[in-house]
Chain A
Amino acid sequence: DADVTQTPRNRITKTGKRIMLECSQTKGHDRMYWYRQDPGLGLRLIYYSFDVKDINKGEISDGYSVSRQAQAKFSLSLESAIPNQTALYFCATSKPGATGGGGQYFGPGTRLTVT
Chain B
Amino acid sequence: GESVGLHLPTLSVQEGDNSIINCAYSNSASDYFIWYKQESGKGPQFIIDIRSNMDKRQGQRVTVLLNKTVKHLSLQIAATQPGDSAVYFCAEKFAGGTSYGKLTFGQGTILTVHP
Give B73-115 interface residues, CB cut-off 8 Å to A. 89, 91, 93, 95, 100-103, 105-108
- Report chain B residues within 8 Å CB of A108: 41-43
CB pair A41–B100 under 8 Å, yes or no, is no
CB pair A42–B101 under 8 Å, yes or no, is no
Report A77-115 CB contacts with B as 1/0, cut-off 8 Å: 000000000000010101000111111111111000000
What is the interface residue range for chain B against chain A? 20 to 34
Name the residue of chain B whose CB is nearest to the CB of A58. B102
Knowing A42-B107, A42-B108, the reply to whether A98 touches B101 (Cβ < 8 A) is yes
A90 to nearest B CB, angstroms? 5
Q: A98–B101 Cα gap in the complex (Å)?
A: 7
With an 8 Å Cβ cutoff, the count of chain A residues facing the other chain is 27
CB pair A90–B43 under 8 Å, yes or no, is yes
Give the interface of A toward B (CB within 8 A).
Answer: 1, 4, 31, 40-45, 48, 50, 56, 90, 92, 94, 98-109
15 residue pairs bridging A and B, Cβ less than 8 Å apart: A40-B9, A42-B91, A43-B103, A43-B105, A45-B103, A56-B100, A101-B31, A101-B51, A101-B93, A102-B34, A102-B46, A102-B48, A104-B103, A105-B46, A106-B44
